[in-house]
């Protein structure tokens, strides 16, 4: 997929800047080579990485762990805080690779984790290679003994964190996870995985607040960005997606451990979707689980051959049968959702699809300045069920609100 030139230029500049990370002002750099890491891609470097981290974390001055160019095998690693100083950086200039044999990185569901941090920066022009292809093949064969897949990078129970400039390839599961955090910025990341790689969401947000994503390029086999329950005050801007399943709020209503599954105050603007399954999606399961989605703005999006450019699906069932709550009306309330300046082409006749709950119809849905065609013709259609809203300005296909 061709990246828009302004975004590409910004990524190149960012990657170049973090490759040559200077020593923190008044602090020190802890090079993993000095702790015994071997850049051969064969010797497990988890121990040296963790020892370097321990020294940086206990430093009273600003500190950085530095992974220089080379290939470093890491079976799995969890970097924990809180640290003595808020100014801790984990800088990756090389390539960190997972074990080739799936299942060798443990059963926690995580490969590289940072948790209980305040003020962390994870940055660099380096790569995290999840080597997920063997596990994908196991799952696609339908084997029952496939081990637990692992997400590549997890930021958990932390605040004021920056993740910048990294490249993540071939994750077994999600590439970047932000879990139970406050104040996280993800900037200039690149995600790469094949279109048929299962459940390889690019960036997954869960139970977090005040999270921003900027200047991301995501090609994967599932949602480019997935927004789970418990998220609020999110800002997503300048994201190029494709292949993938689009930017999705949800799925909600699948009994994920919270009493009320809620997502609110989300802005998604200046995005590009190329050949994706969906563009801008909200999805909920049927059933009695309570929750809501409210205060969402999707603005300035360009679609190119997208199956479902605009979609609210409150009868979500990815396997078409055997889904929890299948056939039951969703109890997730969706309201105050705005679509402004959405343009481009749909790969299917229905470019705008609002399939809402019969028990709790969608309300306050707004379309403004929408121009979507079907295969570059003007014959696209809209579909509405159980939805109330308004259309402003030029709206194509003609609104069914």
**What secondary structure does DSSP assign to 24-91, as a single string?**
PTT-EEEEGGGGT--TEEEEE-HHHHHHHHHHHHH-SS-EEEEE-SSEEE-S-EEEE---SSS-EEEE
pLDDT tens-digit profile of 181-221?
A: 999 999 999 999 999 999 999 999 999 999 999 999 999 99
Cα–Cα distance measured from residue 92 to residue 98, given in angstroms and rounded to the nearest whole number = 15
Question: Which pLDDT score, from 0 to 100, does residue 1 have?
Answer: 38
Point out which residues pair with 271 in neighbouring strands: 239, 301
Tell me if 180 sits within 8 A of 206, measured CB to CB.
yes
Q: Give the pLDDT confidence score for residue 19 in this predicted structure.
A: 39
pLDDT at residue 3 greater than cutoff 70: no
Mean pLDDT of the chain: 92
**What does the pLDDT read at residue 256?**
60
CA–CA separation, 141 and 144 (whole Å): 9
Distance CA 124, CA 67 (A): 9
- List the beta bridge partners of residue 390: 366
Neighbouring CB atoms inside 10 A of 12's CB total 12
pLDDT band at 143, cuts 50/70/90? confident
- Per-residue pLDDT of 88-120, as tens digits, reads 999 999 999 999 988 888 889 999 999 999 999
User: Radius of gyration over alpha carbons of the chain, in Å?
Assistant: 21
Query: Beta-carbon neighbour count of residue 242 at 10 Å?
Result: 24
pLDDT at 29 over 90: yes
> How far apart (Å, rounded) are the C-alpha atoms in residues 334 and 339?
14
What pLDDT sits at residue 20?
41
Dump pLDDT digits (tens) for 43-57.
999 999 999 999 999
pLDDT value at position 300? 98
DSSP state of 343: E
Q: What is the mean pLDDT of residues 235-258?
A: 91
Assess whether the previous peptide bond of 242 is cis (omega < 30° from 0): no
Helix, coil or strand: residue 245: coil
- Pairing status of strand 88-92 against strand 261-274: unpaired
Domains and CATH numbers, the chain: 86-134+147-316+325-394 (2.160.20.10)
**What average pLDDT score do residues 3-18 get?**
37
How many CA within 13 A on the CB side of residue 276? 34
Separation CA 44–CA 97 (nearest Å): 10
> Residue 379: pLDDT above 70?
yes
What is the maximal distance between C-alpha atoms in the chain? 65
**Given 15, 175, 206, 245, the catalytic residue:** 245
- Report the pLDDT averaged over residues 174-187: 98
Known catalytic residue at 15:
no
Provide the pLDDT for residue 24: 60
Structure tokens, 259: 């009493």
DSSP-derived secondary structure letter, 103 = T
Cis peptide preceding 251, ω within 30 of 0: yes
C-alpha to C-alpha distance for 161 and 184, rounded to whole angstroms: 5
| pLDDT value at 258 more than 90 | no
Beta carbons within 8 Å of 202's beta carbon, 6+ residues apart: 174, 175, 176, 191, 216, 218, 220, 222, 223, 224, 225, 241, 244
Whose structure tokens read 């969703």?
Answer: 330
Note the pLDDT tens digit of each residue in 262-311.
999 999 999 999 999 999 999 999 988 999 999 999 999 999 999 999 99
């Amino acid at each position: 997929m061709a990246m828009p030139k302004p975004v590409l230029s910004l990524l190149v500049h960012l990657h170049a800047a973090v490759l040559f990370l200077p020593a923190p002002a008044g602090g020190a750099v802890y090079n993993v080579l000095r702790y015994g890491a071997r850049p051969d891609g064969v010797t497990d470097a988890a121990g040296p990485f963790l020892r370097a981290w321990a020294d940086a974390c206990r430093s009273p001055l600003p500190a950085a762990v530095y992974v220089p160019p080379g290939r470093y095998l890491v079976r799995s690693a969890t970097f924990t805080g809180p640290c003595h100083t808020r100014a801790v950086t984990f800088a990756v200039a090389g390539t960190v690779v997972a074990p080739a044999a799936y299942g060798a990185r443990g059963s926690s569901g995580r490969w590289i984790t940072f948790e209980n941090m305040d003020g962390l920066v994870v940055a660099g022009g380096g790569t995290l290679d999840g080597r997920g292809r063997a596990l994908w093949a196991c799952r696609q064969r339908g084997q029952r003994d496939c081990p637990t897949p692992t997400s590549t990078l997890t930021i958990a129970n932390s605040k004021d964190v920056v993740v910048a400039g990294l490249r993540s390839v071939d994750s077994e599961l999600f590439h970047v996870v932000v879990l139970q955090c406050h104040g996280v910025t993800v900037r200039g990341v690149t995600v790469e995985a094949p279109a048929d790689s299962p459940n390889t969401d690019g960036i997954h947000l869960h139970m977090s607040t005040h999270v921003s994503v900027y200047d991301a390029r995501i090609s994967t086999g599932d949602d480019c960005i997935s927004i789970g329950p418990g998220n609020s005050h999110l800002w997503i801007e300048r994201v190029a997606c494709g292949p993938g399943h689009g930017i999705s709020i949800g799925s909600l209503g699948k009994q994920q451990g919270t009493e009320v599954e809620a997502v609110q105050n989300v802005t998604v603007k200046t995005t590009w979707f190329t050949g994706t399954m969906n563009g801008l999606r909200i999805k909920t399961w049927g059933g009695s689980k309570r929750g809501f989605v409210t205060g969402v703005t999707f603005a300035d999006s360009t679609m190119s051959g997208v199956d479902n450019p605009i979609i609210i699906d409150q009868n979500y069932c990815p396997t078409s049968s055997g889904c929890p709550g299948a056939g039951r009306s969703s109890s997730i309330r969706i309201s105050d959702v705005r679509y402004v300046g959405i343009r481009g082409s749909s790969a299917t006749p229905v470019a705008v699809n609002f399939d809402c709950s019969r028990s709790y119809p969608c309300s306050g849905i707004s379309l403004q300045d929408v121009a979507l065609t079907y295969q570059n013709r003007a014959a696209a259609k809209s579909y509405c069920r159980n939805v109330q809203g308004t259309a402003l300005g030029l709206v194509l296909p003609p609104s069914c609100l």
